[in-house]
Amino acid sequence: MRCLVTGAGGLLGTELVEFLRRQNEDVVGWDLPGHDVTDVEKTINGIHQVGPDVVFHLAARTDVDGCEDDVAGATSVNFQGTWAVALGVEELSRKLVYVSTDYVFDGRSGRPYRENDTANPLSVYGRTKLLGENAIRRSCKQHFIVRSSWLYGKHGRNFVDTIRKKSREVPRLEVVSDQVGSPTYARDLCRPLWDLARSKYFGTYHVTNSGQSSWCELASEVVRLTGAQCEVVPIDTATAARRAPRPAYSVLENRNFKHRFGKVLRPWQEALKSYICGNDKVQSQNDK
């Protein structure tokens, strides 16, 4: 299978390219500065030149607070770039896998969000990612929209690594305790993306590590696993005073993926331990 991965140098993209190559897939990776998906004509022509069987579209503006200060830039990448990719894939009648986010929801649900629940994003980031989803639904028949959440991994800036670093430097960390989601290890997301790409079960999916956690609980577990002598102190969202509003509860029920494939990802605590304690090689051996 010939695969094109946009955002191939990012946190998830790097893991996915490595994973696909371990499966002996033919992989082409795009990333800045060589490939800017917001250049619509170049993107469509480039997809034709690569001739992929499937495109994994991961390129995005993911700085949630930064998107609030650059609405045009976020819209250009997360909407226009996604629309361009969708047009190119549809012209070839190929498959498109698009990674979206839990931030398309407003966080007011009393239960984990299902794929058909109404989206109502609070932030520019969430709104532009939802625009990307809708562009794909309108423009590309053979698509998979995969919402995940709270991604971390060794190939990009993320909350887990930030806490790991800061907990070695300071005796006390204040972390938000009233936002709850599902921390997800980027490496664990790769196989589900591959499983979907090889299927014809088109549609929208939620795929995260199992279970739920607040940011404070996640930080406390990072500190425990690393053995850092740092106190983690819970604070509320208002005290944190972040630029972009976040959903208070954005846990995603992996309902459709479990129904189609009969499996769910391992608990977030187990995945985090694998990452923190350096068991990645063991996990890699289980890829095939």
Spatial CA neighbour of 178 closest among 259, 94, 238, 252: 238
The rounded distance, in Å, linking the Cα atoms of 232 and 176 is 10
Strand, coil or helix: what is 44? helix
The rounded distance, in Å, linking the Cα atoms of 185 and 10 is 14
Instruction: Note the Cα 94 to chain centre separation in Å.
Output: 22
Q: What is the DSSP string of 212-228?
A: -EEHHHHHHHHHHHHT-
Neighbours of 171 (CB within 10 A): 9
Spatial CA neighbour of 158 closest among 14, 5, 2: 14
Instruction: Note the Cα 114 to chain centre separation in Å.
Output: 17
Tokens 């894939």 locate to 89
Burial class (CB in 10 A: 0-12, 13-18, 19+), 138: exposed
Q: Are 58 and 6 in contact (CB under 8 A)?
A: yes
The rounded distance, in Å, linking the Cα atoms of 134 and 261 is 25
Please tell me what DSSP assigns to residue 171. S
> Rounded to the nearest 5°, which phi and psi values hold at 29?
-110, 135
User: Which of 125, 152, 185, 275 is an active site residue?
Assistant: 125
Let me know if 125 is a catalytic residue: yes
The rounded distance, in Å, linking the Cα atoms of 263 and 202 is 17
Please tell me what DSSP assigns to residue 113. B
The catalytic site residues sit at 125
